[in-house]
Amino acid sequence: QYQHPPAEMSLSMLSRIQGLKSQSAVNRELLAEKQRALQHAVAARDHLRSQVAADVAERERQEDNARRLSGELAGLRQDIARYERERAVLRSTLSGLRGTHQEKLSELEERQRAFSVATFDDAAKLQTLCSEFRAQCCDAPRRSRDQSVLLAVLEREQS
């Protein structure tokens, strides 16, 4: 059978039990707060981890882009150097062509002058021949038919 403890003991025990119950409620409340704080800390940690992972991925992407751009830049520098060499060759060739062109032009001008002088000399000789032939024909009492044709040709050539 169950026996009740003495009354004085019951009051002190009851008071003590009440104190323990209050302390237990406070402890439960503190534990719940600590669990909530822990959950927030875990969520913040996970968020930071994902941010760090995203930052690392972004950094790797930027490094890859930097390497790619560096390679492209090196290629462009090589292209520029090649174009500069080609440009120098073309300038040299153009300079040579200008010199050759100038020489040919001078040669042609000289030929034209020589031809003009020769043509002038030939024209003067032709004039003289025509005059002599006319004089011979006019002095002759009758021109032959061949002489008339030749005189017409010479006059045509002269004009």
CA-to-CA separations, 53 to 46, 57, 58, 106, in angstroms, rounded: 10, 6, 9, 78
Global pTM value: 0.42
Let me know: does 137 contact 143? Beta carbons within 8 Å: yes
Which are the contacts of 154, defined by CB distance < 8 A and separation ≥ 6? 126, 129, 130, 133
Confirm whether 84 is domain-assigned: yes
Span 67-101, pLDDT tens digits: 999 999 999 999 999 999 999 999 998 888 888 87
Instruction: Read off the amino acid at residue 37.
Output: A
Helix (H, G, I), strand (E, B) or coil at 41: helix
Residues of the domain holding 60:
7-158
Domain count, the chain: 1
Confirm whether 2 is domain-assigned: no
Reading the chain (159 residues) residue by residue, the pLDDT tens digits are 666 666 566 777 778 888 889 999 999 999 999 999 999 999 999 999 999 999 999 999 999 999 999 999 999 999 999 999 999 999 998 888 888 878 888 888 888 887 777 777 777 777 777 777 666 666 555 556 666 666 677 777 766
Question: In the chain, how many H helices and how many E strands?
Answer: 2, 0
Confirm whether 92 is domain-assigned: yes
